[in-house]
Chain A
Amino acid sequence: MRIFRLAGRRLAASIPTLALILVGVFLLLQFAPGDTVDAMMAQMGGGDAATAKELRKFYGLDLSIPAQLGNYLWRLIRLDLGFSSIYGKPVASVILERLPPTILLMTASLSFAFFFGIVFGVIAARGVNKWPDTLISILGLIFYATPSFWFGLMAIVVFSIYLQWLPAGGFENIGALQTGIWRTLDIARHLVLPTLTLGLIFLAIYLRIMRASMLEVLNLDYVRTARAKGLDETRVVIRHVLRNALLPMVTLIGLQAGTMLGGSVVVESVFSLPGLGRLAYESVVQRDLNTLLGIVFVSALLVIVVNFAVDLVYARLDPRIAAEG
């Protein structure tokens, strides 16, 4: 398959990028005050210098920095992210536990932003410079300027405290041991507000791009042809315009993947969701540098994977891209 070869080549090209990030962040973390052993000693409630030296030797922290870096990269190739002294488990399993809520949240927000971005973008472009367009554009600007954590807090005030419709935080009801469909529904209820909060800024971006791209495509010759042969406006938009107008939207998913992951740090903290973003925050506060480095690795990997998927979708939407490769 041509598409796969093309996307595969881009995937291979991202390996040096990933290595660059890891080396950079690893060296950066050497400047951090205190290392893993300091964090462990603090956790144990202090200890003498001999124990610290022993531990440093055990974890290979007494080696030179290049040797430590080499060790780290070598372990990474075997998918070993090291040990988290705070959680008392391998970093890989800590991250793996926290990954599902984040991926769920990101997928839900992305779908929300993408779907409503298309709907509002199309409505705005169809009546350009009339009142629905103006209203949607103003709302888009306001959503874009809203700090997500503040929107989240205000949503909690309205929907959880005053109306009491939705839970204020958490991933699921731990007290009630639910299974199957009930558990799914419970998690969905917990994710409504976080999804809205994270999705809002992206909705603002998507609807603006969708509107611009619709306006551009609507003026092309083949659309005039479609109208001239007597198709009604709905069919012109759905069958002919939408597919081409979607291209920039798909590109945007790849570009925004990192921003979305960053946004989930804040949103997960607001709604106390046990996800990757909250883990990143906790590891900064607790100075768990091994975990922080692991999160850097996993989030870069996630961005690369999303971009790989975007490449595939892109080539499907526009066959010319695969042909040119």
Chain B
Amino acid sequence: MDAVKRYFRSPAAVTGLVLLLFVVAMALSASWFYPREPLALAGRPLIWPFSNPRFLLGTDNSGRDIAAQILYGARISLLIGGVATLIAIAIGILIGALAGYYGGWIDTVLMRITEAFQTLPNFVLLLVLVAVFGSTLTTVTIAVGVVSWPAPARLTRAEFLSLRNREFVQAGRTLGMKDIQLILGEILPNALPPIIVYASVIMAVAILLESALAFLRLSDPNVASWGNLIGLGRDVLRVQWYVSAIPGIAILVTVLAVSLVGQGLNDALNPRLKGR
């Protein structure tokens, strides 16, 4: 596998992978390290980090363990980021494939809708969706996915436009294959690699969007989310700034890891474009 070898030759890509595995390990080990509910009261409020061995990263305004919230928060961020990305990619591929394959008025209508979604700032649309459907974990995840699909749709459409008249597709058509067979079986597998690489960008943005929403207290308040914790810490920012600082670093590391892995994949799959 040349691509794998190329991936591991890049220090940035390897760093990203290590960081990402670390975050995944945090998410998986959360209930092992902290079997108790992370949002339960654990001790005195506002204990500084590293001052009490029982609370390695200290406690927040209401005496909840910050370390436990960080570990459980990794679950929430990866879950929301991952599922929202899948939703965005699924909608994007559907719209982009239909528009690119059929062209004509279908293309025009679908692209107009895509343009409308791109003209509206996605955070504003996210606010509208949360205002309408409320802010539970499910609605927030779907909302983040729904505001993120236009870019993969455009990407898919461009790939389909360039692939739909290639010889292998024409050969399939001559063999009497149906449109759906051509789209799913012939064109899509060839269009997929750049879309998968782009998924890392969507995931990074999705994690940032959710944390911003949670910071504004518009995400699900009943789960341990990094953004929620930053929002809470804002009330005690003047002295106990660590309550906000720690979860922010967790978000930074996660988003950085996802971006580095995506960039590494891109360079490994398209070696000629390296350095761009």
Give chain A's interface residues, CB within 8 Å of chain B. Answer: 14, 16-18, 20-21, 24-25, 28-29, 31-33, 128-129, 141-142, 144-151, 153-154, 156-157, 161, 212, 215, 258-263, 265-266, 269, 280-281, 284-285, 287, 289, 292, 295-296, 299-300, 303-304
Chain A to chain B contacts (Cβ below 8 Å), 23 pairs? A16-B112, A20-B112, A147-B248, A147-B252, A149-B230, A151-B248, A153-B230, A153-B234, A153-B241, A153-B244, A153-B248, A154-B241, A154-B244, A215-B275, A258-B120, A258-B121, A259-B122, A266-B212, A280-B127, A281-B216, A296-B120, A299-B120, A299-B124
Q: How many angstroms between the C-alpha atoms of A20 and B119 in the bound complex?
A: 11
Question: 7 tightest CB-CB pairs across the interface, nearest first?
Answer: A262-B123, A150-B248, A145-B255, A145-B256, A262-B121, A258-B121, A20-B116
Is B175 located at the chain interface by the 8 A CB criterion?
A: no
Check A295 against B119 for contact (C-beta < 8 Å). Answer: no
Q: How many angstroms between the C-alpha atoms of A261 and B118 in the bound complex?
A: 12
- B159: shortest Cβ distance to chain A, in Å? 19
Q: How many angstroms between the C-alpha atoms of A287 and B113 in the bound complex?
A: 27
Given A31-B133, A263-B123, are A284 and B211 neighbors across the interface (CB < 8 Å)? Answer: no
B112 contacts which chain A residues (CB < 8 A)? 16-17, 20
Instruction: Report whether over half of chain A's contact residues are helix, strand or loop; otherwise say mixed.
Output: helix
Q: How many angstroms between the C-alpha atoms of A132 and B173 in the bound complex?
A: 53
Given A147-B212, A147-B248, are A292 and B128 neighbors across the interface (CB < 8 Å)? Answer: yes
Is B198 located at the chain interface by the 8 A CB criterion?
A: no
Check A296 against B234 for contact (C-beta < 8 Å). Answer: no
B120 contacts which chain A residues (CB < 8 A)? 21, 25, 258, 296, 299-300, 303
Check A215 against B116 for contact (C-beta < 8 Å). Answer: no
**B213 (CB) vs chain A CBs: closest residue:** A266
Check A303 against B276 for contact (C-beta < 8 Å). Answer: no
- A164: shortest Cβ distance to chain B, in Å? 12
| Extra 17 A-B pairs, beta carbons < 8 Å, given A21-B116, A280-B127 | A20-B112, A28-B129, A141-B259, A145-B204, A146-B252, A147-B248, A147-B251, A150-B251, A154-B248, A157-B241, A258-B120, A259-B123, A261-B121, A265-B127, A266-B212, A296-B125, A299-B120
Among A284, A296, A304, the most chain B Cβ lie within 10 Å of the Cβ of A284
Given A146-B252, A153-B234, A295-B124, are A266 and B216 neighbors across the interface (CB < 8 Å)? Answer: yes
Instruction: Report whether over half of chain B's contact residues are helix, strand or loop; otherwise say mixed.
Output: helix
Give chain B's interface residues, CB within 8 Å of chain A. Answer: 12, 112-113, 115-116, 118-134, 204, 208, 211-212, 215-216, 218, 227, 230, 233-234, 237-238, 241, 244-245, 247-248, 251-253, 255-256, 259-260, 275-276
B218 contacts which chain A residues (CB < 8 A)? 281, 284-285
Among B112, B124, B251, the most chain A Cβ lie within 10 Å of the Cβ of B124
Check B212 against A28 for contact (C-beta < 8 Å). Answer: no
Check A141 against B122 for contact (C-beta < 8 Å). Answer: no
A153 contacts which chain B residues (CB < 8 A)? 230, 233-234, 237, 241, 244, 248
**A148 (CB) vs chain B CBs: closest residue:** B212
Given A16-B112, A303-B121, are A28 and B128 neighbors across the interface (CB < 8 Å)? Answer: yes
Given A32-B132, A145-B252, A154-B248, are A258 and B230 neighbors across the interface (CB < 8 Å)? Answer: no
Check A18 against B131 for contact (C-beta < 8 Å). Answer: no
- B12: shortest Cβ distance to chain A, in Å? 8
